[in-house]
Structure 1
Amino acid sequence: MHKPSPPLEGPDMFQDQIRIVLVETSHSGNIGAVARAMKNMGLGNLWLVNPNSFPDEASYARAAGASDILDRAQVVGTLGEALGDCVLVMGTSARDRKIPWPVMPPSEAVAVASDHSREGAVALVFGRENHGLSNDELHRCHYHIHIPSNPDYSSLNLAMAVQVMCYELRMFYLRNLEDSDGRPDLRSMKAPGDAGWDVPPAKVADVEGFFGHLEQTLHDVSFHRRDNPRQLMSRLRRLFQRAQLDQMEINILRGILSAVQKAAGAQESTKPTEAGAEPARQEDGHV
């Protein structure tokens, strides 16, 4: 028994019009991995041309929650059956051809596929694990898609190749939503003030208070000399301002400084300095 699948999320274009076609897949586990890659990116229309073995336990085991994609998969005997009602066919190819054929990278291919999907089904065709699509099969394609992998190691696992194309389709769809600017999955979160950050950015007055506290603490532990400051505080200021601190981080740092000051004062009053020991100072290798 395969585990139940969560519902597929995605636009009708993904679920119905974009058709992933696998030709004579040798290993059924790869079919399951393809189903998982598709569902990750919101696609659900899988066609299998003369697979070596399907359905079986290996395919469902590798699907890992995308068993509904396999349940709905169309199994046909020939590539012609898989492509007959399509308005556009695009085939993945890693090899140069004797006769030049229209070829494009994935990012351009998905834009063309999306445009044609308004008119009917669009097939993205993937070949066999060991030698891809034959020349005759590639000649059935309006365009070839070339994934620009490492030329010294260009062979992609079948599911990896499908994942690349499904990801590009997903990103194209998300970027073209009417409210795409408001989608959290398209926004980066790198610093306080970005949507999703849990604490507001520190205010300038709070940061300046921290720098004053830091300088005083370094002076208290004999690390910083106000009469010969060199560039210490300037460089520390540059360091912390580059970090773009939030309010909680300022509070934590001020708490650490207070603890250092308290410990330094307690140590001076209760524990004599060991013979020959000197505290670290600004001039000992510091600027």
Structure 2
Amino acid sequence: MEIPRNLISDSALLQDTFDLLTANGGRAAFTEIADVVFRLSHAGEELAALLVADLIRNDPRFRIEAAHLAIVDDDTELRSLNKIDFVVLDVEAIVARTQPARIIELGAYRVRDGQIRDDFQTLINPEAPLPRFIATMTGISDEMLVAAPRFAEIVGAWLAFAGDAVLVAHNSSFDLPLLNREIARVFPGYRLRNHELCTVNLARHLVLNSDGHNLDALADHFGIENTTARILLRLLDQLEAGDVRTLVAARTFRASAETPGAELDLQLTLDI
């Protein structure tokens, strides 16, 4: 089975290797990797090279340099926000105690340079009954899902749409692991390699809004349609007003009443 380029193995050994290289400034000798990751302190260079080459095969994060393994340069975190492709997720899922969570609807919007450029929308047949409360909440019925494709039938199109974009979700700690579990059913042992951004965390840093930071509260606050993509656009506007230009800076930025754009947020909060 050919593995799409935006998937990587979820092997713990690979993660340990990536962490080791990161701690070493981006590269390490094969023998050091054999010692630290494989616990083979006396492995010769030839054996170490074979072990490392097999481990990182088809993983685009790494490259081999003579007797060393190096991390391929990735400037995503330092790239200008208006030059980044964001793919913003809106996911509906069955979440029940008696069965693993399954996605029933996957929506996504491509955002670039302050505009929504494209979208991806599909219902997904979870091959399981739809709980009544989810049908009531979402307006999705069992009849609609029976006619929908299974996740395995749309995963290729989804991965092609996502590409190398930064994946954005409102509460990414739920949506992205759920998406990765669905992917692992089709590509066992693999997960998405894309950078991630959570609009809940971003909003907590940017929006001085006492009504909370769920989608409804933020949509009311900004006076816009309740979609994660629209909210992301407003948050990116506030980052630009605060002279925040990169993804890494966005993750650490904290708005204050003196921040351009945040002063209005504070006034709105005080007026409520």
User: Would the TM-score normalized by the shorter structure come out above 0.5?
Assistant: no
Larger Rg: 1
TM-score normalised to structure 1 length: 0.25
**Structure having the larger proportion of residues in strand:** 2
TM-score normalised to structure 2 length: 0.26
